[in-house]
Amino acid sequence: SVHRHPEVQTNREKLPILAEEQIIMEAIHDHPVVVLAGETGSGKTTQVPQFLYEAGYTKSGKLIGVTEPRRVAAMSMSQRVGFEMNLPDLVSYQIRFEGNTSEQTRIKFMTDGVLLREMAKDFRLRKYSVIIIDEAHERSVFTDILIGNLSRIVPLRAKDTENGPLKLIVMSATLRVEDFTENSKLFKTVPPVIKVESRQFETTCHFQRTTPDDYVSAALKKACKIHRELPEGGILIFVTGQQEVNQLVRKLRDLYPSKNLEKDQLDDFNGLDEEDETIEKTLRKATLKRKKGQQSKVPTRSGPMAKGVLPRVDLNQYRAIPLDDTEADAMRDDQPEEEDVLEADPESLGVTTGGQPLWCLPLYSLLNSDKQARIFEPVPEGHRLCVVSTNIAETSLTIPGIKYVVDCGKVKTKFYDKLTGVTTYQVTWGSKAAANQRAGRAGRVAPGHCYRLFSSEVFKNDFPLHAQPEILKRPVDDLVLQMKAMGIMNVINFPFPTPPEMSQLKVAERRLLSLGALRFDKASKIHQITPLGKSMSAFPVAPCFAKMLALSEQQNLMPYTISLVSALTVQEVLLETPVGNHEDSFNQDEVRKIRKIWAGKGNHLLLGDPMILLKAIHAAEYEAGSRGNMLDFCNRYALRHKAMIEIRKLRRQLTNEVNLVLPHINLALDPKMSLPDDNESNLLRQIVLAGMVNQVGRRLEVPPNITDPKERAKLENAYQCGNLADPVFMHGRSIFFLKKKTVKPPEWIVYQEVFETDRMHIRGMTAIEPE
């Protein structure tokens, strides 16, 4: 049984959902599928798993599974529930490569992708007695597919006398549940919907008369005004990304510093992100040294190391970048952002400094969990709480004590052109539904106020009612492959809550065909999965990378391919331009110089740009292995240290994964790997080509009628890529660009990605026929 701490028990009893326990549990008992809609913060995520446990749903030895679209939520909620129940061993989490499940686990939080994979292995989900799909309103692609599949699994389990029934609970914020309930393709009998009332107070929304362009400065101004003029109560500011969050937190801490704290508390308070701060300092030092001309040697594996104090980096605190995280926040900008420096002069902002200090905290998905948890800790005496957050605070996490919300109204999203695959990041208006969720965060403790940094006209005319489900916005290759591997051959007839466009499915099938993962079966007129497709589906990476892994098995190149795939999955391994808070110590020229060092001598053109990545990883790991420190090395050679740590982690995890899928090859991770020789490089090139068959480009002929030498020079760097009509340009840091004076750029190439900034660029080039 459960023995909760008295304090936990008191807090629980304040949650609106506690009053509904009986109604909820009866509905679950009586119906195979129940939809539970409730205001954010009403207690759905933390309490419903406990209700189920106490009602005996795990008595048979089966598990309660809870899926979350975000990794952060899966980890932090499992911790919270374990803590509340005072039974931490019972509650575990599993995210793609990482988890703490054990024999004792009874409640398992996981990302939706993890459950989808389990379905591929055991469609009936025999381990589970209940599946809770949490945050279903977020409409992540995997959530949609899970619900579609579960609508078929539940009836199967109803007839399964051996394993007993499976209960499905779909939980969502009070948003558009009709997509699930009024879709007869999905559930034949309409599932009951239970609405959890919450003690929500009135929130008054205030619009701006005009809509400012610079919403970060506008947010700063508004927060200052609230702090100066309005009675006590926490402030929650919504902006679009991690960089904006950090920028605002810094500024607000400068304006309203915390005075009365003990020294160590103060250090902690001022250190926005200690790790980054230290890197910043180290980088400064490194740059100074470079300026004095102390260092210009080619980084060989036994290259010189800079001396100096090592910054403290706690690897236990480190979390890998979510690969499948749907949150905009987790997506790094491909295009380096200018650091918009906020107007430093308080006068010009019309704000007064001093006065009551602010307790200002950042919140975004990549922030360490212990720092995220600070929002739940008490605010020091005499301070006003101010949290600056991305949309993670919209529904996933509830911050106590918020009375004022400042909402920029925007969201940052990664856009894929469904047909060409070109990616861009864009900041656009969110939806009316999202804006109302954000406003609702203000009315949890008392009547609240929401200050919207846009006009009511803009809200009325430019905000869509709801955000588009993710499945309509991204390529579905991986999904189609997963579904085929599960035996769902007729993808078009699948009960999607919102079906993707036919053209999207067709493009995905075509790409999988050219990868050799599918073949057209004339008799059934259906694309069937091939044995290669089957083995590809076992690797938890995108189909093009999965193919590279599947092919490496025969060639003994697996360790290299694992390094490559890990590196290609992580963004911005090599620092590009002065961006963010630590890279600014490098200027463009320095970066170019360092990149030339990486491009190095010798025939690296065999593999092209991916070779730079391989070199960088192996050199950095070699340094780490022999001198025990990688950071210094990264700093000196313009490598993003966090990316390197991520890659290390991914390599380890992919190695484990490969060993699970292909136990006979029994890989071990060798940190001190040497670089591939020419023969190996050539094989690797073929593997890269095989994975990138859908990204082929050909160099453009410069038409003779163009005579302007500048224009001609520009077009000499241009390629025709895929079915894109416009020319795409070699990236200035591509090895082929850096060497174009001595080696003619290749005519035919494969590339990793086309991305658009001021013009379209190619990332990651490999020549199809190297010189």
Q: Which is nearer to Mg ion, 45 or 585 (CB)?
A: 45
Find which of Mg ion, ligand ADP, none residue 80 binds, CB within 5 to 8 Å per kind: ligand ADP
Give whichever of 172 and 653 is closer to ligand ADP, judged by the CB atom: 172
**What SS3 string covers 201-257?**
CCEEEECCCCCCCCHHHHHHHHHHHHHHHCCCCEEEEECCCHHHHHHHHHHHHHHCC
Q: Should residue 140 be labelled a site residue for Mg ion when binding is judged by CB under 5 A?
A: no
Please tell me the distance from the alpha carbon of residue 338 to that of residue 332, in angstroms, as a whole number.
Answer: 14
Binding span for ligand ADP by CB under 6 A among 37-45, 206-214, 515-523, 621-629: 37-45
Number of residues that bind Mg ion (CB under 5 A): 2
Instruction: Choose the stretch contacting ligand ADP; rule: CB under 6 A; options: 40-48, 245-253, 284-292, 539-547.
Output: 40-48
Give 398 or 563: the residue with its C-beta nearer to ligand ADP.
Answer: 398
Q: Which two tokens stand for residue 132?
A: 């809770």
Q: Which of 131, 108, 154, 163 is nearest to 36 (CA)?
A: 131
Rounded Cα–Cα distance for residues 173 and 551 (Å): 44
Name which of ligand ADP, Mg ion, none residue 610 binds, using a CB cut-off of 5 to 8 Å depending on partner kind. none
| Region from 43-51, 253-261, 403-411, 418-426 binding Mg ion, contact rule CB under 5 A | 43-51
Contacts with ligand ADP, 319-358, as mask; x by CB under 6 A: ----------------------------------------
Residues 6+ apart with CB under 8 A from 716: 702, 745
Nearer to ligand ADP, 441 or 484 (CB): 441
- Confirm if 356 and 227 have CB atoms less than 8 A apart: yes
* Least separation in angstroms between CB 439 and Mg ion: 18
Residues 6+ apart with CB under 8 A from 85: 2, 4, 50, 53, 91
Of the pair 380, 722, the CB lying nearest ligand ADP is at 380
- Give the one residue of 42, 67, 94, 240 binding ligand ADP; rule: CB under 6 A: 42
Only segment of 41-49, 140-148, 554-562, 692-700 that touches Mg ion (CB under 5 A): 41-49
Q: Which does 580 bind (CB under 5 to 8 A by kind): ligand ADP, Mg ion, none?
A: none
Q: Does 40 bind ligand ADP (CB under 6 A)?
A: yes
C-beta closer to ligand ADP: residue 373 or 532: 373
Measured from the CB atom, the residue of 37 and 639 that comes closer to ligand ADP is: 37
> Residues 232, 357: contact at Cβ < 8 Å?
no
Which one of ligand ADP, Mg ion, none is in contact with 372 (Cβ closer than 5 to 8 A by kind)?
A: none
What does 427-440 look like in DSSP terms, one character per residue?
Answer: EEE--HHHHHHHHH
> Which of 45/242 has CB closer to ligand ADP?
45
Helix or strand run (H / E) with residue 722: none
Binds ligand ADP (CB under 6 A): choice among 24, 32, 34, 43: 43
- Report if residue 78 touches Mg ion, rule: CB under 5 A: no
Q: How far is the CB of 266 from ligand ADP (least distance, A)?
A: 24
Question: Is residue 282 near Mg ion by the rule CB under 5 A?
Answer: no
* Closer residue to ligand ADP (CB): 15 or 320: 15
Q: Which is nearer to ligand ADP, 110 or 613 (CB)?
A: 110
Site for ligand ADP in 62-91 (CB under 6 A): 80
Q: Print the binding letters for residues 438-457 with ligand ADP: x by CB under 6 A, - otherwise.
A: --------------------
Site for ligand ADP contains 299 (CB under 6 A): no
DSSP secondary structure of 17-47: GGGGHHHHHHHHHH-SEEEEEE-TTSSHHHH
Q: Is 45 in the site for Mg ion (CB under 5 A)?
A: yes
| Cα distances (angstroms) measured from residue 213 to each of 155, 178, 428, 583, 684 | 52, 36, 12, 26, 48
Nearer to ligand ADP (CB atom), residue 396 or residue 653:
396
Minimum CB distance to Mg ion, residue 169 (Å): 12
Q: How far is the CB of 9 from Mg ion (least distance, A)?
A: 20
- Which of 32, 41, 430, 746 is in the footprint of ligand ADP by CB under 6 A? 41
The closest alpha carbon to 541, from 518, 562, 513, belongs to: 562
Q: Scan residues 93-152 and list those touching ligand ADP (CB under 6 A).
A: none
Q: Cα separation of 608 and 598, whole Å?
A: 12
Interactions with ligand ADP, residue window 371-430 (CB under 6 A): 373, 376, 398, 400
Tokens of 552: 């490496």
> Residue 604 has what DSSP assignment?
G
- Quick count: other Cβ atoms within 10 Å of Cβ 327? 23
- The answer to whether the CB of 661 falls within 8 A of the CB of 550 is no
Nearer to ligand ADP, 85 or 620 (CB): 85
**CB 110, min distance to Mg ion, A:** 15
The option from ligand ADP, Mg ion, none interacting with 520 (CB < 5 to 8 A, set by class) reads none
CB closer to ligand ADP, 48 vs 599: 48
Minimum distance between the CB of residue 220 and Mg ion, rounded to whole angstroms? 30
- Residue 220 tokens, joined: 């700063």
Q: Which tokens belong to 255?
A: 């304006």
Distance between CA atoms of 102 and 78, rounded to whole angstroms?
13
- CA–chain centroid gap for 32, Å, is 33
Amino acid residing at 60: S
Which among 549, 542, 485 has a CA at the least distance from the CA of 694? 542
Helices (H) and strands (E) in the chain, counts: 28, 23
Note whether 92 and 102 are within 8 A (CB): yes
- Dihedral (CA of 456, 460, 463, 465) sign: positive
Cα–Cα separations (whole angstroms), residue 395 to 44, 75, 144, 147, 417: 11, 16, 18, 20, 28
Residue nearest to Mg ion according to CB distances in the complex: 45
* Of positions 44, 438, 582, 641, contacts ligand ADP by CB under 6 A: 44
Task: Choose the stretch contacting ligand ADP; rule: CB under 6 A; options: 25-33, 45-53, 510-518, 726-734.
Answer: 45-53
Q: Indicate which single residue of 45, 242, 717, 752 sits in contact with ligand ADP (rule: CB under 6 A).
A: 45
User: Which of ligand ADP, Mg ion, none interacts with 717 (beta carbon under 5 to 8 A by kind)?
Assistant: none
| Contact window for ligand ADP (CB under 6 A) among 41-49, 463-471, 700-708, 716-724 | 41-49
Nearer to ligand ADP, 45 or 111 (CB): 45
Give least dist CB 372 to ligand ADP, A: 9
- Per partner kind, with CB cut-offs from 5 to 8 A, the member of ligand ADP, Mg ion, none near residue 413 is none
Strand order in the sheet with 91-95: 98-99, 91-95, 107-111, 63-68, 128-133, 167-172, 33-38, 193-196
Residue 46 interacts with ligand ADP (CB under 6 A): yes or no:
yes
Contacts 24+ apart (CB under 8 A), 393-396: 393/236, 393/238, 393/363, 393/441, 394/40, 394/238, 394/434, 394/437, 394/438, 394/441, 395/40, 395/135, 395/137, 395/138, 395/173, 395/437, 396/68, 396/70, 396/72, 396/73, 396/135
Q: For ligand ADP, which is the closer residue by CB, 390 or 635?
A: 390
Size of the site for ligand ADP (CB under 6 A): 15
Minimum CB separation of residue 535 from ligand ADP in Å reads: 39
Tokens of 599: 């491009």
Classify residue 221 as left (phi > 0), alpha (psi -120 to 50) or beta: alpha
Residue 41 contact among ligand ADP, Mg ion, none, beta carbon within 5 to 8 Å by kind: ligand ADP
Residue for token pair 């309005």: 230
658's enclosing H/E stretch is: helix 641-661
Identify which of residues 44 and 474 has a Cβ nearer to Mg ion in the complex: 44
Binding site for Mg ion (CB under 5 A): 44-45
Binding site for ligand ADP (CB under 6 A): 15, 38, 40-47, 80, 373, 376, 398, 400
